[in-house]
Structure 1
Amino acid sequence: MGSSPLIQFAVTVAAAAVVSVPLAALLTPPDPYTQLLAVGLLLAVTLPVAYYLSYGGGYASLGAWVER
């Protein structure tokens, strides 16, 4: 991604939010409270993963793995 870690983190979290809302709608009952809980849990898991990818060298590792 070649940009600053802050921008990488923000893009990763935004992409996870875009994916988690429809995923929660598909996998949970049509109850708004349950869907909000599922989205919250998905984002709670996503934040540490996004932090590792952005600040812990995860994107660099993925880039090296893809270039093999």
Structure 2
Amino acid sequence: MTIKWEALLQVFGATLLVTLVLVTLFVFGIRALSSGKKVPAVASFAGCVAVVLYGLSLIVF
């Protein structure tokens, strides 16, 4: 049994990137919501939902 280190690093990098994007979108949503800007907050949370649903679709299909 061999380990494909390049593939493992690609998965790690993609996971790290998606996690950073998701956390950043969520933080922007919280900041916009706390400052009273509802439209950017809803857009940020919609982006979070889109990322999560895309991840779930990759797992399921």
TM-score range, shorter chain: 0.3 to 0.5
- Structure with greater helix share of residues: 2
Higher relative contact order (CA 8 A, sep 6+): 1
